[in-house]
Amino acid sequence: MGILEGKKGLILGTANDKSIAWGVTQACHREGAELGFNYLGEALEKRVRPLAESVDAKFIEPMDVGDDASMDAFFAKVAERWGKLDFIVHSIAFANKDALKNRFSNTSREDFQLALNISAYSFVAVAGRAAALMQNGGSMVTMTYLGAVRAVPNYHVMGVAKAALESSTRYLAQDLGPDGIRVNAVSAGPIRTLAASAVGDFRNLMAKSARGSMLKRNVSQEEVGNTAAYLLSDLASGVTGEVHYVDSGFHIGAGDPGAE
Ligand code: NAD
Ligand code: 0WE
């Protein structure tokens, strides 16, 4: 019997079969969960719907986390079709490409707001709506990156957004804990996904991350997915407010000096 048997959960942030959300989906499906999905816009529906159907999902609806009306419509459908919810996975981030390339000190107000809105506030917005459907407790997991706590070249405003996301994880854990709802973040090492492939010199960053890691290799979507499935399950019933690294141990190292 799977560790998520009998549980209903939402996977938010699938773009394609390279998405971290898809690695989480495969682990959750294998462990017996019933899954629901969102997609951002019609272009992604064509990719997400067949993927979601391949894991027997029946709930596949649009949601733009930058739009309160879109979020309300999505969660109204969750309430109508499922009534209750056991877990959510938030695997969503966005920043203007220029802000990840130009000097950090030149970040515009607009680009700062966009990155924090889509990459950090959206977790709070999703968590509040989901918590209302978690009558028997629940578990929430978001995806973060080391750039939240270290200055990683070019990660820039996304690092600021991930710092806000990790802090939001702790405040959500405090707020929702009395309702039996746990909230955690998984800090993944670099993985080649749609969002990552749009980043210049990602190949070099991946090579450096592998060299500087304890396991001397990068991590996969599947490894991140398995860790998320554990955090979503009752096996992690005493774990909340945590940032759990799945990065081959890179973050415990000294970084570049030993890596080269
Ligand atoms: P991805 O491109 O597959 O996923 C990003 C998702 O965000 C997409 O599905 C996209 O549709 C969604 N999204 C963007 N704006 C949205 C909006 N307004 N409304 C709804 N959805 C929106 O890339 P990924 O690497 O799988 O990213 C998933 C998460 O993992 C992100 O939070 C990212 O920061 C995090 N992460 C990625 C890595 C990496 O190296 N790939 C490492 C650590 C953490
Ligand atoms: O969180 C991320 C990806 C974030 C991201 C990437 C893009 C590229 C395309 C957010 N928004 C956009 N917008 C775009 O238009 N990661 C953890 C992967 C990542 O991105 C980096 C990294 C790593 C690692 C960017 C610079 C440096 C390192």
CA distance 258 to 260: 6
Q: Cβ(93)–Cβ(195) under 8 Å?
A: yes
Question: What confidence score (pLDDT) does residue 176 get?
Answer: 99
């969002």: which residue's tokens? 195
Assign 247 to helix, strand or coil. coil
Give me the helix-helix angle, 156-176 and 122-131, nearest 10°.
Answer: 20
- State pTM to two decimals: 0.98
Q: What is the pLDDT of residue 46?
A: 96
> How would residue 200 be classed by pLDDT, with cut points 50, 70 and 90?
confident
- Which is the closest atom of ligand 1 to the Cα of 190? 40
Query: Which residues neighbour 197 within 8 Å (Cβ) at sequence distance 6 or greater?
Result: none
Centroid of ligand 1 to alpha carbon of 1 (angstroms): 30
- pLDDT value for 255: 76
* Residue 39: active-site member: no
Q: What is the pLDDT of residue 257?
A: 54
What's the mean pLDDT when you consider all of the chain? Answer: 96
Is residue 155 flagged as an active site residue?
yes
Does 118 have pLDDT greater than 60? yes
Bridge-based pairing state of the strands 34-39 and 87-90 = unpaired
User: What are residue 84's phi and psi, to 5 degrees?
Assistant: -125, 165
140-160 residues labelled b (16+ CB within 10 A) or e (exposed)? bbbbbbbbbeeebebbbbbbb
Tokens of 115: 């990155």
Distance between CA atoms of 108 and 102, rounded to whole angstroms? 10
Cα–Cα distance for residue pair 231/242, rounded to 1 Å: 10
pLDDT at residue 96 tops 80: yes
Ligand 1 pocket test: pick from 26, 46, 143 the residue with the most ligand atoms within 8 Å of its Cβ. 143
**202 pLDDT exceeds 60?**
yes
For residue 193, which ligand has an atom nearest its CA?
1
> Measured from the CA of 119, which atom of ligand 2 is nearest?
10
The pLDDT of 145-170, averaged and rounded, is 98
Residue 11 backbone phi and psi in degrees, to 5 = -110, 110
Q: Is 137 in contact with 181 (CB distance < 8 Å)?
A: yes
Query: How far is Cα 119 from Cα 95, in angstroms, rounded to an integer?
Result: 8
Residue 132: per-residue pLDDT: 98
Mutation to probe ligand 1, out of 11, 18, 19, 39 (largest number of atoms < 8 A from CB): 19
Give the ligand whose atoms come closest to the C-alpha of residue 142.
Answer: 1
* Average pLDDT value for residue range 132-136: 97
Q: Is the pLDDT of residue 117 over 80?
A: yes
pLDDT for position 197 = 86
First to last CA, the chain: 45
Residue 2 has pLDDT above 90, yes or no: yes
* Model confidence pLDDT, tens digit, residues 53-87: 999 999 999 999 999 999 999 999 999 999 999 99
**Does ligand 2 have an atom closer than 6 angstroms to the CB of 20?**
no
- Residue 31 pLDDT: 98
pLDDT tens-digit map of 5-26: 999 999 999 999 999 999 999 9
The whole-angstrom separation of Cα 152 and Cα 135 is 40
SS in 3 state form for 218-248? Answer: CCCHHHHHHHHHHHHCHHHCCCCCCEEEECC
Q: Is the pLDDT of residue 259 over 60?
A: no
pLDDT band of residue 223 (cuts 50, 70, 90) is very high
DSSP β-ladder status, 8-12 and 87-90: parallel
Per-residue model confidence (pLDDT) at position 256: 63
The active-site residue out of 145, 171, 230, 245 is 145
Q: Is 19 in the pocket of ligand 1 (CB under 6 A)?
A: yes
Ligand 1 near 79 CB (within 6 A)? no
